[in-house]
Structure 1
């Protein structure tokens, strides 16, 4: 989620909490007066029936469409300011190491490259950003007013999955990692004798992989083995540069997906 939208939503959320508390306090003070008025006021069942019938006719769709349009206008204004390909993406593409495979509408992004006789695929998903965004807002609501303007932006942990296959032999090496703060933290390394089983993205292949041994927890391996394996990944381009790129691209993609989502939902509501 974009940093601007994150801060905007954090401000809105905080305002709603304050407003809700104020409304609760006012309602408690007004209870005696309301009770007196209610006992003396005549019933108005006709007003309720008219209101219910209005909601049944779909009047809420109009106001929802207006709010969606407001969000679209806000995002388009931001796009106009930041038009064109971001600098971080230009720099990444200019290196010519990894090829980006990104389909609008999908939440997964794939980076691929060749290294000698190896085919390397690195996948990550923007879905991880949603849960982390909610946790981040909850943790920082009370601190939002005291944070300095120069505080670094929060870096969301994003899960990544690496697969390595060879053209000269069978098998597939899979590495589960977490990308955060410019580093990859390896969780475990799996090996599959069948390269197709290790790389297929079908539900059937995923089910079969769950029944196989995924290897030990990486941090339980001998320290020397861990260090050599990290060097192995570094040599294949799974390094700090890519670890810094992934959160930036995830935020960039999430923003594009959000704008598309707003357009699709508004079109549906307006039909």
Structure 2
């Protein structure tokens, strides 16, 4: 869904750039013709030339403002149509209706914050739409595509190819969501905090790192001093190098606190939903500035 929307956005932009380039070229040709057609006396009159050029520039600037405003309006209309044609995903609706987490989503901010209480613990989960902009497909996907291509060239039968493609369609016709990074903090009063870095992808939570901080502020604050203090704290071994049973128990510990499959599906879907909402608001803000 994300990539299709991006392609749809880029197409009208490319046309607009072509239109703008054509308009500029026409203006340049028109200006050259006017200059060549002027009598010598007019060309020598500097005051008249400067005045007419100023008027031309002012008129051209107004034309650009109007064209830009119209283009922004068309982009806003397109995004509104997309929103109308794409109902709220069931994963988002179900999570908002049934999850114990409270969703804090401030328009204009990239981060989304989920909070809840669990016994005497305060749990915070943070993720960001910046993951969409920073995402690069895994090299493993490219390697797999190359391997499939080599299999075809090596003589894999057409029947096997069709069966494989049919299996892929059954496994999931929709495009996979972009992986979403989660910053999870579980804290207890006067006991410090656990900070878990995880990845929500394909309906699963993959824990990457686990830290402990005596001061919970180190897990939350973006202040330079707090970041430096956190970096100076012993990070612990990579999660994947821990005893397998310890890994499993930690995953169960998180699952009991709502870090589960429902969250793994919700977070990437909500990132895509929020990105469209933020982009539409951004377009409106830019248009309002141009029209002011």
TM-score, normalising length: structure 2: 0.68
The aligned counterpart of 1:37 is: none
Structure 1 unaligned runs (5+)?
A: 20-42, 140-146
* Equivalent position to 2:212, from 172, 191, 196: 191
Q: CA RMSD in A?
A: 3.4
Aligned partner (choices 119, 127, 132) of residue 129 of structure 1: 132
Q: Does 1:215 align with 2:236?
A: yes
Aligned residues of 1:186 and 1:218 also touching (Cα < 8 A): yes
Are residues 1:6 and 2:28 paired?
Answer: no
Is residue 204 of structure 1 aligned with residue 225 of structure 2? yes
The Cα of 1:68 is off from its aligned counterpart by 1.0
Within 5 Å, give how 1:241-256 maps onto structure 2: 241-256=262-277
Shift of the 135–216 alpha-carbon distance from structure 1 to 2, 3 Å rule, reads closer
Residue 99 to residue 152, structure 1, CA distance change in 2 (3 Å): same
Q: Is the CA contact (8 Å cut-off) linking 1:175 and 1:189 kept in structure 2?
A: yes
Q: Does the aligned pair in 2 maintain the 1:172–1:199 contact within 8 Å?
A: no
Q: CA deviation at 1:3?
A: 5.6
Q: Hey, what's the Cα distance between the residues in 1 that align with 2:128 and 2:66?
A: 34
Partner of 1:161: 183
Equivalent position to 1:179, from 200, 223, 228: 200
Deviation at 1:86, TM superposition (A): 4.9
**Change beyond 3 A, Cα 1:184–1:134:** closer
1:179-224 C-alpha deviation (Å, 9 max, x unpaired): 1111121111111111222233434322322232222211121222
Deviation at 1:108, TM superposition (A): 0.3
Indicate the residue corresponding to 2:83 in structure 1.
Answer: 79
Query: Which deviates more, 56-65 or 226-235?
Result: 56-65
Which of 83, 93, 97 does residue 90 from structure 1 map onto? 93
- 2:74 pairs, out of 62, 70, 75, with 70
Distance 2:283 2:10 in 1: 20
TM-score of the pair, normalised by structure 1: 0.73
User: CA-to-partner distance for each residue in 1:160-190, whole Å, 9 max, x for gaps?
Assistant: 10001113x4211101111111112111111
CA contact (8 A) 1:2 1:252 kept: no
In structure 1, C-alpha distance between the alignment counterparts of 2:290 and 2:234, rounded to whole Å = 48
- In structure 2, how many angstroms separate the alpha carbons of the residues matched to 1:99 and 1:228? 26
Unmatched segments (≥5 aa) in structure 2:
19-31, 37-48, 143-164
Query: Which residue of structure 1 lines up, in the alignment, with residue 120 of structure 2?
Result: 117
Between Structure 1 and Structure 2, how many residues are aligned?
Answer: 233
* Displacement after TM superposition at 1:10 (Å): 6.8
Equivalent in the alignment of 1:101: 104
The aligned residue for residue 31 of structure 1 is none
- The answer to which of 205-214 and 148-157 deviates more is 148-157
Shift of 1:58: 5.2
Whether contact under 8 Å (1:101, 1:109) holds in the other structure is yes
The answer on 1:152 being equivalent to 2:167 is no
Q: Distance in 2 between matches of 1:81 and 1:182?
A: 25
SS in 1 for 2:199: strand
Task: Flag the 1:263–1:3 CA change in 2: closer, same or farther, 3 A.
Answer: same
Change (3 A) 1:62 1:5: same
